[in-house]
Amino acid sequence: MVNYQNMRSESDVSMAEPNSIIDFRSDTVTRPSSKMRAVMADAEVGDDVYGDDASVKALEETVADLVGKEAALYVSSGTQSNLIALLTHCGRGEEYIGGDIYHISHYEAGGAAVLGGISPKHLPTDSNGGLKVEQVEAAINPDDFHFAKTRLVCLENTVNGMVQNQEEICRISELAHSKGLLLHLDGARLMNAVVASGKPAKELAAPADSVSICLSKGLGAPVGSVLCGPQDFIDRARYNRKLVGGGMRQAGIIAAGGHYAISNNIERLAEDHRRAKILAEGLAQIEGIAVEINDDQTNMVFASVEPVNQQALITHFINSAILVDGGDPSFRFVTHMDIDDNAIHRLLDTISAYFNNK
């Protein structure tokens, strides 16, 4: 079996060439390093639907252990992981509570409703992306045949790059459990929260009955997420993974990339957070751009401009070989493994040049 630890070298980080395209759209855009590719090429594989893939099993054990859960299931994406969690926790006609800006509520094509007959209840999140325990309590339906049965609360950490208040998550967990509900945590970027808060993944995941971890965001793997929880939940989740067509065969090839990522690329997230801070502080110096500065931010920076400048600035980015997300109303800049210090300075220079030459 491959030893995934401490294999990373400086060559894992690609440097931004002066005129190369720089991609700030998301931390999902990273490409596997040569070391990660080598590990993937050498991975031991088998048919994972038969339970024969040693690399998948090793990854599942590693991630379950990292987040302090009994078992884990390797799945194709964060969306599939959340969908399987919802299908496993909730029955048809039941309801889950989530935040209105959460990925699970907003960006997953309504999968739980389409495939599971599960209705979402979206609550307004605060400026940090959090929900309050009182809000959740008020949103739980009474035990009355007029209402869908509320079964689950879904939280997210980080939300739009912001580390969530762990005490509040614990309060929501206690409330949910006292009312017979369960808690699912979309921890697509939980490792960013781990690095930024200094709290171990086990502690951040403890209030949740199930947690989903993405390997293909800041951690830099090409594919996959891991859904973690108690063994009986994972056994039922395996059934639902099959139901959504997510059973994979020699998946060890891609799981090995994920295992490499989780073993080598967590601590380096601090670099992404440092660069996001430099970027936010640099943007704050530029007249014409308003930036949200928030102590809980990790690897995302949100900034906005007057509507009159939006389209022109987008064109200016394209002409400068810089890819960004949004612009209406905010631009989102995400730092990741393929963004180095030069890339940050190139972005700041590009924006300054736009406002100076207007």
> Which residues contribute to the site for ligand PLP (CB under 6 A)?
77-79, 103, 156, 186, 188, 214, 216, 225
Strand pairing category for 289-291 and 325-326: unpaired
CB of 342 to ligand PLP, least distance (A): 26
For tokens 């070391």, the residue is: 35
Nearest of 71, 26, 77, 344 to residue 229 by alpha carbon: 71
The set of residues, in sequence order, having a beta carbon less than 8 Å from that of 195 and lying 6+ positions away, is 266, 267, 269, 270, 273, 298
Nearer to ligand PLP, 261 or 313 (CB): 261
CB of 349 to ligand PLP, least distance (A): 28
Q: How far is it, in rounded angstroms, from Cα 147 to Cα 138?
A: 14
Indicate the helix (H) or strand (E) that contains 23.
Answer: strand 22-23
Nearer to ligand PLP, 99 or 252 (CB): 99
Nearer to ligand PLP, 165 or 225 (CB): 225
Number of H helices, E strands in the chain: 14, 13
CB of 107 to ligand PLP, least distance (A): 7
Nearer to ligand PLP, 79 or 320 (CB): 79
Nearer to ligand PLP, 2 or 23 (CB): 23
CB of 115 to ligand PLP, least distance (A): 15
Nearer to ligand PLP, 173 or 212 (CB): 212
Residue nearest to ligand PLP (CB): 78
DSSP type of residue 266: S
CB of 78 to ligand PLP, least distance (A): 2
DSSP for 316-355?
A: HHHHTTEE-EE-SSEEEEE--TT--HHHHHHHHHHHHHHH
CB of 114 to ligand PLP, least distance (A): 15
